[in-house]
Chains A and B, each alone.
Chain A
Amino acid sequence: MRDVARKIPSGLLPWIIPLGGIGAWLAVSQTGLVPTYLLPHPMEVANAGYYYVFGTPGTAPYAGRFAGDLSASLIRVGCGFLIAVLLGLPLGVLSGRLPAVQRLLGASINGLRAVPGISWLPLAMVWFGIGTRTTLFLVALAAFFPIYLNAAAGARQVDPLLLQAGAMLGVSRSRLVLSILLPASMSHILTGLRLGLGISWAYLVLGELSGVPNGLGAVIMDARMVGRIDLVVVGIILIAAIGRLSDQLLKAFMRCCFKSVRRMA
């Protein structure tokens, strides 16, 4: 096994499973054993994807809607994620360092975390109606937990010696947080942000399934109702690709902004 693994260039490794999956899909579709309303042919999907992304609006159903759906979804994910970061990071760092804050928040947050996100959907629809605000609420709620928990874990594991060293070197309290506490917790914080952004996409789709007119999740739900299963698959593939891309962008952004990410994570 090891010899086999050594012969394959490592740049190729990540592609083996997706390409294998597409190959198997192609093979199954060619045999015609599975009806296309359950599993459309890859070419059909590629075609639908092409029209959805590059088609001229109006020439066919869903043609060229991608840009509008994408920007609607990006705004929802971006704002929801931002709310989660603005709440989760400071609260997490505080409860990681201050036992009083941990005691105050810990039990409640863990209790809320145990509630499956999907069970918030009905309540959110009652509170915020169908549309962007419900989606924002769900995304922010879901992304909050990993960001909060990892920031808390990161801040907690910072060696007190580093903070002592900082105090001894004459650093003010605010600089202590910015130039020692945050960099020293950075690898945990980054993990929390990446998990949070990942789950943001999941909850985006959930929020958009509730019947908003545009967005990538909305397209999936819409296409299912009119029986365009090929477009459902297109939506899934696009969300996977964009989710991955946004993770890479997040990492690049953090690298760009923080020495501690460049040098440690």
Chain B
Amino acid sequence: MLLQERKTNGMTNAQPPLHDANGPHGGRSVLEVKDLGRVFHWNGSAKPVLEGITFDVTRGELVCLLGRSGCGKTTLLKLLAGFLSPTTGELLVDGDPIKRPGPDRCMVFQEDALFAWLTVEENIAFGLNGRKSGKAAIHQEVDRYLALVGLRDFRGYLPGEISGGMKQRVALARVLILKPKVLLMDEPFGALDSQTREEMQDLLLQLWKELSITIVFVTHDVEEALLLADRILVMDRNPGRIRSDLRVPLSRPRARDEDEFLSMSRELRAVLRL
């Protein structure tokens, strides 16, 4: 077993390790999920989509939620974002319960969710405009994040005029500029061609390192999870549960063609098939 099991689904009452020595950045939990459940109602009948989800995310950690479609991983992310409210259980960010969407838990969606009538620059500045910082300060911030995602030359373009990969760069910049406590990503690169996807994965890792962001990343792609994650939470479906919580012991930067990477991806595929 190359991947290291942290705790299993049965141990829902286990104390979250507050100071995880294995963590890449160390530090305390920024996100805590305790016995979370969510039931959807379909014309009269109740269907549990998520059940007994318990995990925590340490500051600076990059956690992937891996599962096949229909396992509720997107629902879980929406609960974390505050777009949905849980049926049972608790969700805490820095110890405070999550009640509604807010800039401390920003999401990058799979679909294009940019404001089509605003330029790249205006999209990135959007979340800052409501705050009380001056115009010059906003401009400077936007410049910085434009550079970080490599879109300096495209600041005046409209979303309709740029490629899918660039759109996701804008989506990333417009939330990173708000310095969220947790960055939520819902298969953000799923709709991109494989070359662009690899570019975006590299960019994400680079930003993660540079800005020390905490990330919860939803994917159904085993390679993507292995490439990105410190930890992978593998999810079951019907109802959605966390089957295993695996630490990825690969050193960074990771290469998709290393023997270790390949054997781990075989192993992870087997876990996913169970």
Contact (Cβ within 8 A) A175 B130: yes
Closest 10 CB pairs of A and B: A169-B127, A170-B103, A260-B117, A167-B101, A168-B101, A161-B113, A165-B113, A183-B117, A263-B117, A264-B117
Contact (Cβ within 8 A) B178 A259: no
| Chain B residues whose C-beta falls within 8 Å of the C-beta of A263 in the assembled complex | 116-117, 158
Contact (Cβ within 8 A) B109 A161: yes
| Chain A residues whose C-beta falls within 8 Å of the C-beta of B175 in the assembled complex | 168-169
Check: B38 CB closer than 8 A to any chain A CB: no
| Chain B residues whose C-beta falls within 8 Å of the C-beta of A179 in the assembled complex | 126
Interface size bracket, A side: 20 to 34
| Chain A residues whose C-beta falls within 8 Å of the C-beta of B126 in the assembled complex | 169, 171, 179
Contact (Cβ within 8 A) A183 B115: yes
By beta carbon, the residue of chain B nearest A258 is B117
Contact (Cβ within 8 A) B115 A180: yes
Cα-based distance from A161 to B110 in the complex (angstroms): 10
Instruction: List 26 interface pairs A-B (beta carbons < 8 Å), by A numbering.
Output: A161-B111, A161-B113, A162-B115, A164-B101, A164-B107, A165-B107, A165-B109, A167-B101, A168-B81, A168-B83, A168-B102, A168-B103, A168-B105, A168-B106, A168-B175, A169-B103, A169-B127, A170-B102, A170-B103, A170-B178, A171-B127, A175-B130, A183-B115, A183-B117, A263-B116, A263-B117
Contact (Cβ within 8 A) A162 B130: no
| Chain B residues whose C-beta falls within 8 Å of the C-beta of A44 in the assembled complex | none
| Chain B residues whose C-beta falls within 8 Å of the C-beta of A164 in the assembled complex | 81, 83, 101, 107, 113
| Chain A residues whose C-beta falls within 8 Å of the C-beta of B148 in the assembled complex | none
Cα-based distance from A180 to B81 in the complex (angstroms): 19
Contact (Cβ within 8 A) A167 B100: yes
By beta carbon, the residue of chain B nearest A260 is B117
| Chain A residues whose C-beta falls within 8 Å of the C-beta of B115 in the assembled complex | 162, 165, 180, 183-184
Contact (Cβ within 8 A) B106 A171: no
Cα-based distance from A61 to B226 in the complex (angstroms): 89
Chain A interface mostly: helix
Contact with B along A221-256 (1 / 0, CB 8 A): 000000000000000000000000000000000000
Check: B118 CB closer than 8 A to any chain A CB: yes
| Chain B residues whose C-beta falls within 8 Å of the C-beta of A159 in the assembled complex | 113
Cα-based distance from A162 to B118 in the complex (angstroms): 13
Check: A172 CB closer than 8 A to any chain B CB: yes
| Distance between B198 CB and nearest chain A CB, rounded to angstroms | 26
| Distance between B175 CB and nearest chain A CB, rounded to angstroms | 7
Cα-based distance from A183 to B126 in the complex (angstroms): 14
Say whether, besides A169-B106, A169-B178, A170-B178, A264 and B116 are in contact (CB < 8 Å). Answer: yes
Check: A155 CB closer than 8 A to any chain B CB: no
Cα-based distance from A165 to B116 in the complex (angstroms): 13
| Distance between A201 CB and nearest chain B CB, rounded to angstroms | 30
Cα-based distance from A168 to B171 in the complex (angstroms): 12
Residue of B103, B117, B174 most packed against chain A (CB within 10 A): B117
| Distance between B163 CB and nearest chain A CB, rounded to angstroms | 18
By beta carbon, the residue of chain B nearest A165 is B113
| Distance between B104 CB and nearest chain A CB, rounded to angstroms | 9
